[in-house]
Amino acid sequence: MTTTSRRVYDEIQNTIDYLVDADLVYFSNAISLSPDRVSWHAHRDAPFLTGRDHPTIDQYLTWLNDGAYTAILFDGSLLQLTYELRGGRVSGHRLAYVPCPYDVDLTLLEEGEPLADVVALYRTTDAVLRSPMRFDYDPRAADIGHPAVHMTMNSSGCRIACVAPLHVLRFVDFVFRQFYPDLWLAHRPFFAEASRKHVGDAALSDDDQQTMHLMWNIHAAASGVLGGA
């Protein structure tokens, strides 16, 4: 499936614009566009990871303060959307959902209080035990135990194979369907389009197919393929 960074950019922007208009996003970053990468404009130049272990509350706060996200959802959770392109095709992606570590008072956010200040109020309270989740596509690193496309949660060593790379709307549909089911139902006509969105071909290895993995219909009619047929 051929595409361009501009088409990927447009798909991300259209998805985020809908979430903003639906009041499902608290704040969205400008999207960064180059010929081989679509990501976000960080607020400052800083290392992305504070460590190689599973993300912590401090890592969440670092991403929040550095602007290392595409959007902040209405409850303070982060969406991080990055696509890499090579030769007219998506060659990699990192699509992450990072839950807010606290059940913050949403009225404070609705009143315009900065999220970092609101979160700071909760630092002496108990955090909510919720795991970040991400879908990675890195075919150059594919190996036994490291599927080309995989979902990671709870542990950095967790890599659950996926049938193919994910379109941005399919990822956002997954997030809302699994973690905000009432909101997913309220916006079902929008999320219904995800089933027809594709970004790449099947990527399961023979070894991946012998283990439990995530599947979806990548042969469904693609009205919104990133870049066309």
Whether residue 38 is contained in a domain is answered as yes
Q: What is the pLDDT of residue 186?
A: 98
Q: What is the pLDDT of residue 207?
A: 92
Give the pLDDT band of residue 193 (cuts 50, 70, 90): very high
Whether residue 229 is contained in a domain is answered as no
DSSP E strand boundaries for the chain: 25-28, 31-34, 37-40, 71-73, 78-86, 89-98, 133-137, 149-153, 160-161
* Bigger pLDDT: 47 vs 106: 106
Q: Which residue has the tokens 């007219």?
A: 88
Digit-coded pLDDT (tens) for 15-70: 999 999 999 999 999 999 999 999 998 776 666 665 666 678 889 999 999 999 99
Whether residue 107 is contained in a domain is answered as yes
Digit-coded pLDDT (tens) for 210-229: 999 999 988 765 444 444 32
Whether residue 57 is contained in a domain is answered as yes
Whether residue 181 is contained in a domain is answered as yes
- Number of folded domains that form the chain: 1
Find the domain containing 68 and state its range: 5-209
Q: What is the pLDDT of residue 74?
A: 96
Whether residue 221 is contained in a domain is answered as no
* Bigger pLDDT: 119 vs 221: 119
Residue 41 to residue 61: CA distance in whole angstroms: 17
Written as six digits, the tokens of 4 are 């361009």
Whether residue 63 is contained in a domain is answered as yes
| First-to-final CA distance of the chain | 6
For the packed helices 5-21 and 168-179, what is the interaxial angle rounded to 10 degrees? Answer: 30
Whether residue 214 is contained in a domain is answered as no
